[in-house]
Amino acid sequence: MSNTERTFIAIKPDGVQRGLVGDIIKRFEQRGFRLVAMKMIQASEDHVKQHYIDLKDMPFYGGLCAFMHSGPVVAMIWEGLNVVKNGRLMLGETNPADSKPGSIRGDFCITLGRTIIHGSDSLDSANKEIALWFKPEEMVEYKSCQNGSCMSK
Ligand code: IDP
Ligand code: MG
């Protein structure tokens, strides 16, 4: 457990197309997590297949990968205390129908095939997913002006 724990969050093509990028980012910002990296990309089919490799034997794997590759996603790294676990709590359940109001899926979606957002489910998968989606130089180092560091300039 540390303040520099990191998780991989991606707004899926349905979330981008529905104009939910701002709403989703706002929730992570207002919770107090720190944005470390962000980019909008249309990932290759091979890339999304690798991202979901743990689900390769599931009947929905092909459709899921095709959908993730069908349009741009907003890929992000968020940092902060317990961000992996709390990121998942903020997402809601895998099935939007079981997601409580107040969670991202509980507020913005209704069906399992269109869950609008991905979030790493463990520290181990966060590390793997961050390495798959981002190069080290894409992770930006900066200090918050709230800690006084930019006041002297
Ligand atoms: P997660 O997104 O909550 O981590 P996973 O089990 O990792 O859930 O599944 C990845 C994605 O696959 C889900 O977000 C959802 O879009 C899709 N998915 C999961 N289960 C099903 C299913 O039973 N039918 C169709 N799509 C599914
Ligand atoms: Mg998952």
The answer to whether position 124 is within a domain reads: yes
HSE toward the beta carbon, residue 150, CA cutoff 13 A: 5
Ligand nearest to the CA of 60: 1
Mind listing the pLDDT tens digit for each residue in 88-103?
A: 999 999 999 999 999 9
* Residue 150 pLDDT grade (very low, low, confident, very high; cuts 50, 70, 90): low
Question: What is the average pLDDT across 22-30?
Answer: 98
The answer to whether position 58 is within a domain reads: yes
**Enclosing domain of residue 22:** 6-137
CATH code of 107's domain = 3.30.70.141
The answer to whether position 50 is within a domain reads: yes
- CA 130-143-127 angle, to 5 degrees, is 15
Cα–Cα distance between 33 and 5 in angstroms, integer?
10
> Which residues form the catalytic set?
118
Mind listing the pLDDT tens digit for each residue in 53-64?
A: 999 999 999 999
Q: How many domains are contained in the chain?
A: 1
Question: Is residue 112's pLDDT more than 70?
Answer: yes
The answer to whether position 17 is within a domain reads: yes
Using alpha carbons, select from 12, 19, 149, 10 the residue that is nearest to residue 87.
10
Decide if 20 contacts 116 (C-beta within 8 A). Answer: yes
Question: Is residue 135's pLDDT more than 90?
Answer: yes
pTM: 0.95
What separation in Å is there between the alpha carbon of 51 and the centre of ligand 2? 9
* Residue 152 pLDDT grade (very low, low, confident, very high; cuts 50, 70, 90): low
The answer to whether position 126 is within a domain reads: yes
What separation in Å is there between the alpha carbon of 6 and the centre of ligand 1? 22
Question: Is residue 149's pLDDT more than 90?
Answer: no
